[in-house]
Amino acid sequence: MSKKAMIKITLKEEVLDPQGKAVLSVLKSSGYNNIKDVRVGKYIELFIDSEIENQRSSKDDKNAKNKLDKEIKEISEKVLSNPLIEEFSITIK
Amino acid sequence: MNNRYIKAGITVFPGSNCDFDVHHVLTDIFNVNTSFIWHKDKPKSCREYDFIVIPGGFSYGDYLRAGALAARSEIMGLLNDYADNGGIILGICNGFQILLEAKLLTGVMLTNKSLRFECKYVHLRPFNMDTPFTCAIKDNAILKMPIAHHDGNYFATSKIINGLNKNNGIIFKYCNVTGEITEDANPNGSLYNIAGISNEKCNVMGLMPHPERSSEKLLGGEDGGYIFKSIIKYIKEK
């Protein structure tokens, strides 16, 4: 079965999020007064090539998993997010 | 003005849209020998160029983050080497964002504090006159140039700011018409009113305002021309 990596990117807590502030003000003016703050982030899905993945797994299951985890982390760190202002979390299914 | 022996390159990505403006200014106003470098071109190096401009626009539609995808394209590897060897690179607007994402400059651009696309004239005060980008600017001059961007809110950690201060790397700040650095004069919420910064060696500069849109009287002002005049002067005196 082909795997999917789901990456959630959020702005670091100390970084101002004007987009979130704008959404918050719309929510407030729409009467949703119990919302205290809004932060807007990004969600990205990576679909892993199952053929390559299977080849890897057949050799050594644990090693293949580590390699994939490392690669997804590297992609998230170096391309998908900017570590100066953003954080990310990864779920692989 | 015989500048034909000076060679300038303009990088072009899908979505660059100020490339022809820069080409027009360099060719028709400053008589520089100018050519385009398409991002997929594979020149062995960029050494034949005396300077390179990364123009404004919306490279790759600003997908992911402004400048993020262009910063990872093939040509940037060559620009990295070019900068390492002291080559002069000017990144304008989206070009500035690309330089930040490529880590040729430090810091990051956030969305404008106003959440609006800001398109208007601003005033700029130079803070380091000893660079290839400012050496022809008259003392105490305040330059008027237009901005047009959505993500120009410069942000950096205090460590990065300290580094910039140490190297005189903050080249331009937004100011009012008399040159004071005020909050009102800051069009995008940029940290310390920063409008332009350089790397440690001062051979790479990113600038949010558009000098190429203010280099001839016909367009309402020639202040932007001083950026290009400076680069030409620097190359001639080198």
pLDDT at residue A1 is higher than 90: no
CATH number at residue B49: 3.40.50.880
- In this prediction, residue A24 carries a pLDDT of 94
**Could you tell me the pLDDT band of residue A66, with boundaries at 50, 70 and 90?**
confident
**What integer is the mean pLDDT of B162-187?**
98
Domain that holds residue B42: 7-237
Residue B2, in any domain of the structure: no
Residue A44 belongs to domain with CATH number: 3.30.1280.10
State the total domains in chain B.
Answer: 1
- Beta strands A4-11 and B51-54: pairing type? unpaired
Question: Which pLDDT does position A67 carry in this prediction?
Answer: 87
Residue A59 predicted with pLDDT over 70: no
pLDDT band for position B43 (cuts 50, 70, 90): confident
Q: Nearest-CA residue of chain A relative to B68?
A: A79
Going by pLDDT thresholds of 50, 70 and 90, the confidence category of residue A58 is low
Distance from A3 to chain B by nearest Cα, in Å? Answer: 22
State the pLDDT at residue A16.
86
Give dist(CA B222, CA B143) in Å, integer: 9
DSSP 8-class letter at B133: T
Answer whether residue B196 is part of any domain.
Answer: yes
- Kindly determine whether residue A18 and residue B112, on different chains, have CB atoms separated by under 8 Å: yes
Check pLDDT > 70 for residue B191.
yes
ipTM over 0.85: no
Asked whether residue B13 carries a pLDDT value surpassing 80, the answer given is yes
Instruction: Compute the mean pLDDT over every residue in chain A, rounded to the nearest whole number.
Output: 89
| Mean pLDDT value across residues B95-124 | 96
Spatial CA neighbour of B53 closest among B28, B32, B74, B68 = B32
* Mean pLDDT score of chain B: 96
Q: Which residue of A has its CA nearest to B66?
A: A82
pTM, to two decimals: 0.92
Closest CA–CA distance from residue A82 to any residue of chain B (Å):
8
Look at residue B16 and tell me if it is in a domain: yes
In a domain, B1, yes or no: no
Q: How far is B38 from chain A (nearest CA, A)?
A: 22
- Mean pLDDT, residues B89-99 taken together: 98
Q: Tell me how crowded residue A39 is: count the other CB atoms within 10 A of its CB.
A: 15
Band (pLDDT 50/70/90 cuts) for residue B140 is confident
Q: Quick check: A44 pLDDT over 90?
A: yes
Q: Is the pLDDT of residue B45 over 90?
A: no
Between A63 and A22, the more confident residue is A22
Residue B51 pLDDT level (bands cut at 50, 70, 90): very high
Contact A16 B112 (CB under 8 A): no
Burial letters for B100-137: b for 16+ Cβ neighbours within 10 Å, e otherwise? bbbebbbbbbbbbbeeeebeeebbbbbbbbebbbbbbb
Q: Regarding beta strands B153-155 and B108-110, do their DSSP bridges make them parallel or antiparallel, or are they unpaired?
A: antiparallel
Query: Residue B72 pLDDT > 90, yes or no?
Result: yes
- CA-wise closest residue to B234 among B203, B207, B195: B203
Q: Is residue B17 part of a domain?
A: yes
List Cβ neighbours of B63 (8 Å cut-off, separation of 6 or more). B69
Angstrom distance (rounded) from CA B6 to CA B171: 24
Residues of B known to be catalytic: 93, 210, 212
Contacts with A80 from chain B: Cβ below 8 Å: 64
What is the domain count for chain A?
1
Q: Can you give the residue range of the structural domain that contains A70?
A: 4-92
Reported confidence tier of residue B29, pLDDT bands at 50, 70, 90: very high
A16–B64: do the CB atoms touch at under 8 Å? no
